[in-house]
Amino acid sequence: MSILRIGIIGVGGAALGIHIPGFRLCPEVEIAAVCDTDPKAAEKSGAASVSDYRDLLARDDIHAVVNATPNYLHHEITLEAAARGKHILCEKPLSLDTARATEMLRAAEAAGVIHMAAYTYRYTPALQYMLHLVSSGELGAIRSVRAAYQMALSGHLLGWRSTKAQAGSGVLADIGSHLIHMVELVAGPIASLSASDRRFREDPHSDVEDWTAFLAEFSSGSTGVFEISRVCAGRGAGITENLFIELYGSSGSAVFSLQDPWGLQVSLGENAKDSARLLDHVDVPEKFLKISGSPRDVHAHDRRWGYRYDQAWQFVESIRMGETRSPSFADGVRCQAVLDAVLASAASRQWVNV
């Protein structure tokens, strides 16, 4: 296909702030139509709109879709998109539970369509550089992980995100899915965990947690400590949120912060052998500032935000290559399994295998 035509289903913050700007940076890509139940939201996109997503999926001139709807709609819409032969980029978490997420993966595989899960933070230059340090052996064997995603309570976290029926869980599904995917990217799969959670807000319309934490044992033998909260005053919301990942290995360490997307704090080589030496700040090498082939100008946007547009480029490139690549629906299923294990452990107060 010379022009790749994309349909966007769900025109909320993710579509307006990440997906649509990202696709508009990609050559020979057209946003053919958007769909949202709110006409005003669809109007903000600047693209032609339809009110029923089935009308969008029925169009032969649309080759791929972005499913940016609330969590409870991911399963139904994705199955219909796959049946129509549309390539699919679906927001995270993939669904409400592992069973439904797995069904989405199987449907996409059976239809032979390209599938991708929207874990935008994995494109942060500093995280990509951290991954390089791990894979190249600079840190040695990872021994322990310390990770947190903290933010202040924000209005965009309420509404459908406050009910199990529509979101699956609260802060765990909404931002914890990002953190879990990022940690597993650099430290490998979580094998078992022990969790606790709390609902702090007195909101009669909410039945989900606002805070969760868990201990984790990884398949590699390393250990981890996680905290995820949306009731941390002073920790910002949106672009100012606090997310960090610390990796401590047998040969060195590396510390990632979402607020420093072009830098890492590290202790490497001979410096790591000096117990009196503190972490050094290093700039991310230029080759990691965007993914290979991305048409994005790395200096054109706020460095805390612009990297997210690489997600659209990878989706487009994967379609043109005819190859599904990570983060795929398989990654989404993997993350969903961890989410389910956290919820099960918090309910049972016991260790749970993922």
Give the model's confidence band at 238: pLDDT under 50 very low, under 70 low, under 90 confident, else very high.
Answer: confident
- pLDDT-derived band at 21 (thresholds 50, 70, 90) equals very high
**Token pair 């989404």 in the structure block, residue:** 332
Residue 328 lies in a domain: no
Residues 317 and 299 in one domain: no
CATH number at residue 240: 3.30.360.10
**CATH number for the domain harbouring residue 88:** 3.40.50.720
Please tell me whether residues 221 and 167 are part of one structural domain: yes
pLDDT for position 87: 98
Around 250, how many Cα atoms within 13 Å sit in the side-chain half-sphere? 6
Is the pLDDT at 155 greater than 80? The verdict is no
Same domain membership, residue 241 and residue 344: yes
Per-chain mean pLDDT for the chain: 96
**DSSP string for 164-215:** HHHHSSSHIIIIIHHHHHHHHHHH--EEEEEEEEE--S--TT--S-SEEEEE
pLDDT at 273 over 80: yes
Confidence at residue 148, expressed as pLDDT on a 0 to 100 scale: 98
> 193 and 209: one domain?
yes
Q: Calculate mean pLDDT across residues 336-343.
A: 98
Q: Is the pLDDT of residue 227 over 90?
A: yes
Q: What is each CA distance from 191 to 60, 120, 173, in whole angstroms? A: 43, 24, 19
User: Is residue 354 in a domain?
Assistant: no
Tell me phi and psi for residue 352, to 5 degrees. -130, 135
User: Could you tell me the end-to-end alpha-carbon distance of the chain, in angstroms, rounded to an integer?
Assistant: 41
The pLDDT tens digits of the residues spanning 121-139 come to 999 999 999 999 999 999 9
Domain shared by 135 and 250, yes or no: yes
Question: Is there a single domain that holds both residue 29 and residue 43?
Answer: yes
- Domain region containing 293: 122-305+337-348
> Is 221's pLDDT higher than 90?
yes
In a domain, 332, yes or no: no
Q: Percent of the chain, pLDDT > 90?
A: 92
What's the token pair of residue 91? 């927001």
Q: Which residues of 217-254 are buried (b: 16+ CB within 10 A; e: fewer)?
A: bbeeebebebbbbbbbeebbeeeebbbbbbbbbeebbb
Same domain, residue pair 107 and 183: no
Mean local confidence (pLDDT), 206-210: 95
Residue 40 has a pLDDT of 86
Query: 138 and 244 in one domain?
Result: yes
Q: What is the pLDDT of residues 65-87, one digit of tens each?
A: 999 999 999 999 999 999 999 99
Q: Which amino acid is at 270?
A: E
CA distances from 337 to 66, 163, 181, 333 (A): 23, 19, 11, 6
Whether residues 165 and 223 fall in one domain: yes
The predicted structure's pLDDT at residue 249:
98
Contact of 245 with 130, CB cutoff 8 Å = yes
pLDDT (0 to 100) of residue 100: 98
Please state whether the peptide bond connecting residue 21 to the residue before it is cis, i.e. omega within 30 degrees of 0.
Answer: no
Is there a domain that residue 159 lies in?
A: yes
Beta-bridge mates of residue 91? 118
**Quick one: average pLDDT of 230-240?**
93
Give the three-state DSSP class for 241: coil
Q: What's the confidence (pLDDT) of residue 313?
A: 98
pLDDT category of residue 31 using cuts at 50, 70 and 90:
very high
Nearest to 89 by CA among 284, 327, 308, 289: 327
Give the mean pLDDT of 275-294.
97
**Structural domains in the chain (count):** 2
Q: Are 237 and 152 in contact (CB under 8 A)?
A: yes
pLDDT band at 1 (very low <50, low <70, confident <90, very high): low
